A and B are shown apart, each in its own frame.
Chain A
Amino acid sequence: MTALLDVKNLSIRFPVKRSWGRSSWLYAVDDVSFEVKRGETLAIVGESGSGKTTAALGVARLVHASGGTVNLDGQDFLSLEPEDLRQARAKVQVIFQDPYSSLNPRLRAEAIVREPMDSIGTLPVSERPARVAELFEQVGLRPEQMKLFPHQFSGGQRQRIGIARALSTNPELIICDEAVSALDVAVQAQILNLLRRLQRDLGLTYLFISHDLGVVQHMSDHIAVMYMGKIVEYADRLSLFNNPKHPYTKALLSAVPSVDQKRKVERLLIPGDPPNPLDPPKGCRFASRCPFVENACRAAQPPLDEIAPQHKVACIKASH
Chain B
Amino acid sequence: MTEPLLKVENLRIELALRSGQAPVIDDLSLELHAGETLSFVGESGCGKSMTALAIMGLLPEGVGSVASGRILFDGRDMAQMSDEELRGIRGNEISMIFQEPMTSLNPVYSVGEQIAEVLRRHKGMNKAQAWTRATELLDAVRIPNAAARVSDYPHQMSGGQRQRVMIAIALACSPKILIADEPTTALDVTVQAQIFDLLRDLGRETGTAIILITHDMGAVAEMADRMVVMYAGRKAEDGPVRPVIDHPRHPYTKGLISCVPHLLAELTEERPDLTEVAGIVPSLGSFGADACLFASRCDLADDRCRSQRPPEVAFGDQHSACWKADQL
Chain A positions within 8 Å of B, measured between CB atoms, are 47-48, 154, 156, 184-190, 192-193, 196-197, 211, 213-215, 217-219, 237-238, 241-242, 251-264, 267, 269-273
Contacts and interface: CB of A to CB of B under 8 A. Distances in A.
Q: Which among B268, B273, B275 has the highest number of chain A CB atoms within 10 Å?
A: B273
B276 A186 contact: yes
Interface string B246-277: 00000000011101111111111101011111
Q: Chain A contact residues: over half helix, strand or loop, or mixed?
A: helix
A186 B280 contact: yes
A193 B276 contact: yes
Nearest to B297: A186
Interface residues of B, number: 49
Q: Which among A193, A218, A237 has the highest number of chain B CB atoms within 10 Å?
A: A218
B255 A257 contact: no
Contacts of A258: 218, 221-222, 262-264
B301 to A, nearest CB: 16
Nearest 6 A/B pairs, CB to CB: A218-B261, A257-B218, A189-B259, A255-B193, A47-B188, A262-B265
Contacts of B255: 186
B263 A213 contact: yes
Contact of A218 (B188, B190, B274): B274
Contact of B277 (A186, A211, A241, A267): A186
Contacts of B44: 184
A257 B223 contact: yes
B256 A186 contact: yes
Contacts of A260: 262-265
Interface in B185-237: 188-194, 196-197, 215-223
Given A190-B278, A193-B273, A257-B223, 8 more contacts: A186-B43, A197-B273, A211-B189, A213-B263, A256-B189, A256-B218, A257-B196, A267-B193
B196 to A, nearest CB: 7
A238 B269 CA distance: 7
A253 B218 CA distance: 13
A87 to B, nearest CB: 35
Contacts of A263: 263-265
B132 interface: no
Nearest to B41: A185
B158 interface: yes
Given A47-B188, A213-B189, A213-B263, A259 B257 contact: yes
B190 A252 contact: yes
A189 B190 contact: no
A43 to B, nearest CB: 12
Contacts of A237: 267
B263 A214 contact: yes
B215 A255 contact: no
